[in-house]
Copies of this chain bind each other. A is one copy, B any other.
Amino acid sequence: MIDTGDTAWMLMATALVLMMTPALGLFYAGLVRSKNTLNTFMMSIAALGVATICWAFVGYSIAFSGGEGGFIGNLDLAFLNGVGYEPRDGTAIPELLFMAFQGSFCILTAALVSGAVVERIRFGPYLIFIALWSTLVYPVMAHWAFGGGFLATAGTLDFAGGISVEMASGFSALAAALLIGARKDYGRQALLPHNSVFVLLGAGLLWFGWFGFNGGSGFAAGEIGVLAFTNTLLAPACTLVAWFVLDLLRGGKVTAVGAATAVIVGCVAITPAAGYISPIWAMVLGTIAAIPSYLIIVWRPRTRVDETLDVLGAHGVAGIVGIIFIGFFAQESWNGISDGLLYGNAAQLGHQLLAVLVAPAYAFVSTFLILKLLSLAAPLRASGREEAVGMDVVQHGEEAYVSGEGALLIKVGSGDGESEKLLKTG
């Protein structure tokens, strides 16, 4: 039976998560130099096209079909075969909506990975990369934790994607950054965010969307959804304040880009734990999650690894923190499922650590292989000169901010083309 209240909330939650992808585009676009703005934004927009299609064609099936405890689903649900109004077991919403909600996760996660390789990857190969990634990486990892795969049956708890979203994007980003290599000016010049208003607004919209992301992961407008929702408010708030303190300790100043980053880190950390821990523990989690991510984000630019927008630091690491935290602080009185170590169930910690072992490995290796294969077929990155000119002009033939002076209209079909000739010989 379909419940209209559950359906109402899941419709909304799905819309919220879908909004996160353009919000991520904005967030990322603000963080790069102005000559790469559109290209960076387009990497997220592209995911809305490419990953959606892959998801409908095979991704959903890979993730959500097949028996219990497996590594990968099958193609029973490919091309949305049989996915209709009938709810899946344990939910009271049409499966079509369940499919859309889960698909929105795949789209966002694919877009997240782009943060590692902005300002240099070529757009064509990137499109093929996200097609492969959203078919071979995300759905497989989603199967493990959400689709009845081996982590689910082993007892690993992951409420809204610590495994297939956060660790997957973080460690895929690392692999991509290593394989693509650093930007040519990395470590030599200051490569700064060109518009921090976009960064703050993007982070604000991402947080807004995350209420659907976590709050919808109970698939119902019920107790667990409310718990997850509330924790998605409390945890990032604490991360934000913790980040303020860390910023003050480090440089005496609270930074805005730091605050935007903190919002993301807090949302990431609570993602796997949102429906499993009490609000007060969520606040603790939010606070402590700030520390490892902060350290990595400050330390990473001193290395040769140009994992440009710190997907690993913000997502991979905070995702691990959240997954492990469950092992200690899960509380059956809140989640109705399982306790953590602190509440007497040491086994839970083991289940959680299992995920921390396998997820990063699979994400890293599979992404590396995909990109390696692609690199044999075509160069993945722009030339040094193209990087200097900027990816917007080179890859898209556009600029984000155009003033119009000096732009001569090419009159197609007008026959005279005089001004062009003038310019060309000029």
Contacts and interface: CB of A to CB of B under 8 A. Distances in A.
A399 B408 CA distance: 26
A397 to B, nearest CB: 4
Q: Which of A45, A96, A222, A413 has the most CB of B within 10 A?
A: A45
Contact of A19 (B96, B196, B208, B236): B208
Interface string A219-254: 011110111011001101110110010000001011
A354 to B, nearest CB: 30
A124 to B, nearest CB: 8
Interface in A387-412: 392, 395-404, 407-409, 411-412
Contacts of A204: 19, 21-23, 25-26, 45
A133 to B, nearest CB: 16
Contacts of A236: 48
A194 B302 contact: no
Interface stretch (A30-38, A160-168, A175-183, A309-317): A30-38
A56 B260 CA distance: 22
Contacts of A259: 42, 45-46, 49
B279 A56 contact: yes
A156 to B, nearest CB: 25
A94 interface: yes
Contacts of A411: 187, 302
Contacts of A373: none
Nearest to A56: B234
Identical chains bound together, number = 3
Contacts of A260: 45
B49 A240 contact: yes
Interface of A: 2-9, 11-12, 14-16, 18-19, 21-23, 25-26, 29, 33-34, 37-39, 41-42, 45-46, 48-50, 52-53, 56, 79-80, 83-85, 93-94, 96-97, 99-100, 103-104, 123, 127, 187-198, 200-201, 203-205, 207-208, 211-212, 215, 220-223, 225-227, 229-230, 233-234, 236-238, 240-241, 244, 251, 253-257, 259-260, 262-263, 279-280, 283, 302, 334, 392, 395-404, 407-409, 411-413
Counting from the closest, the 7 A-B pairs by CB-CB distance are A4-B5, A22-B204, A49-B240, A52-B237, A8-B9, A190-B407, A8-B221
Given A15-B211, A192-B404, 9 more contacts: A19-B205, A33-B404, A49-B237, A52-B237, A127-B244, A192-B407, A194-B403, A254-B395, A254-B396
